[in-house]
Amino acid sequence: MLLGIIPFGVITGVAMVASGIPPLVAMLMSIFVFAGASMVASAQLLASSAPALLIVLTTLVINLRFMMYSASLRLHFADAPLGRRLAVAYLTADNVYGLMLARFSEHPGDPGKFDYFLGAGLLVWFAWQAAVLAGVLIGAGVPAAWRLEFAAPLAFVAMTIPLLRDRAMVAAALAAALVIAFSSNMPLKLNILLAAATGIAVGLAMERKKWNSG
Amino acid sequence: MELWLILAGMALVTFALRAAFLLLPPGVELPALFRRALRYVPAAVLTAIWAPEVLVQNEQLPAGAVAIAVAWRWRTTFATIIAGLLALHLFAWLI
C-alpha cells in the first residue's frame, strides 16, 4: 500500500515544481489539499495559465469521489465526536478508504475503528508528504528520458481496476473512457466533467437494466 | 497572489467534499438515487483522469494495457506502476 503512494507522491512533487509552483507553496498545497490527482491536474492547468476558477472547479470534479467516501464512512463514524469526524475527513485518501472498507466489512462491530483509521491514515499521510517533498526537492533533477510522469496515470489505473466488480461499474468506466477519448479538443479539462457525468449516468442505467431483467 | 487563491480554493473544496457526510446530523437521510449515483463516481472520475494519457496511439497504449492486466491480476499499485513504466520503455524501443 505504502509502496504504491511513494512513486505517485514523488511525481506529484516533480509535476508541481515543473509547472512553476514555488517549492514552499507546493508543500503547503500537499498539506492543505492532500489529494494527489487534483494537484497533478492543477499543476498542468497552471502551466497552461488556466483561470483560477477553472482550476478549483477541476479540483472539485476530480475530488468528488471523496464525497462518496464520506457517505460510506458516515456509516461507521456518524456517532463519533466532532474532532474525530474532522480527523477522519482530513485523512481520507483513496488507499486509506479502500483499506478501511476491507477491514470494516470483516469486523463490523470493531470498537477500535477510529484508532485503526487514524493509524493507517497517519502512516499514509507521512509517507505521502515525504514522497512529495522528495519530488519537490528533486524537481527538474529527474531525467525526462525516464518518463516518470507516466506513473501518475498508472497509479490511477491501479486504483480503478479493483473497483470494476460488476457490469454496471465496468460500463461506467468504459463510458467515461469513451467520452474522454472523443472530447480531447474540449478546452481545459472540462471534458473530465462530461466524462464523469456520462459514466455515472451509464452506470445507473445499467444497474436499472439488471434489476428489470432479473 | 492568484496562486494563493487557488491553493485556498482547492483546500476548501477538497475538505468540504471529504467532510460532507461526516458532518451531516445523524438523522438526515440522503436520496436513494444520489447515494447510488455516488457509487459510480470513483470509477468514472478516475478513468477520466488516466484514459487520456493511455489512449494515445503510440507506446502508451500497449503499456497501459500491460498495466491494466497487472492491476487486474495482482491489484497492487506498486506492481502496476513498475510494470507500466517498464512496458512503456520496452514498447518505445520496439515501435
To the nearest whole Å, the CA of B94 is away from the closest chain A CA by 16
C-alpha cell at position B84? 507500466
C-alpha cell at position B72? 487486474
pLDDT, average across residues A90-96:
92
Whether A173 sits inside 8 A of B49 (CB atoms) is no
Disruptive mutation site among A16, A39, A68, A154 for chain B (greatest number of B CBs within 10 Å):
A154
Q: Given a cut of 80, is residue A64 above it in pLDDT?
A: yes
C-alpha cell at position A145? 528520458
Q: What is the per-residue pLDDT for A214?
A: 42
Residues A46 and A20: beta-carbon distance below 8 Å: yes
Whether B40 sits inside 8 A of A204 (CB atoms) is yes
Disruptive mutation site among A156, A184, A186 for chain B (greatest number of B CBs within 10 Å):
A156
* Helix ranges (DSSP H) in B1-95: 2-19, 32-39, 41-54, 60-74, 77-94
pLDDT tens-digit series, residues B49-93: 899 889 887 899 999 999 999 999 998 888 999 999 999 999 999
Q: How far is CA B13 from the centre of its chain?
A: 17
Location of C-alpha cell 449516468: A201
Location of C-alpha cell 513504466: B85
Q: What is the per-residue pLDDT for A79?
A: 87
To the nearest whole Å, the CA of B95 is away from the closest chain A CA by 16
ipTM of the complex: 0.89
Whether A172 sits inside 8 A of B6 (CB atoms) is no
**Angstrom distances, CA of residue B91 to CA of A150, A157, B7:** 14, 18, 38
pLDDT tens-digit series, residues A67-82: 989 988 988 898 899 9
Q: How many Cβ atoms sit within 10 Å of the Cβ of residue A63?
A: 23
Residues A98 and B43: beta-carbon distance below 8 Å: no
CA–CA distance, A15 with A153 (Å, rounded to integer):
13
The beta-carbon neighbor of A157 closest among B17, B41, B80 is: B80
Backbone dihedral angles phi then psi of residue A186, each to the nearest 5 degrees: -70, 145
- b/e code B65-92 from CB counts within 10 Å (16+ = b): ebbbebbeeeebbbbbbbbbbebbeebe
Radius of gyration of chain B (CA): 19
The beta-carbon neighbor of A74 closest among B21, B33, B43 is: B21
Q: What is the pTM for the complete model shown?
A: 0.84
Cβ–Cβ contact A131 with B under 8 A: no
Give the relative orientation of helices A64-77 and A52-62 as an angle to the nearest 10 degrees: 50
C-alpha cell at position B22? 461526516
A158 vs B25, which has greater pLDDT? A158
Whether A46 sits inside 8 A of B6 (CB atoms) is yes
Interface of A with B in 71-110 (CB under 8 A): 71, 73-74, 77-79, 82, 85-86, 88-90, 92, 94-95
CA–CA distance, A13 with A2 (Å, rounded to integer):
16
Disruptive mutation site among B45, B72, B76, B95 for chain A (greatest number of A CBs within 10 Å):
B45
pLDDT tens-digit series, residues B28-40: 777 888 888 888 9
Inter-chain contacts counted by CB atoms under 8 A, chains A and B: 260
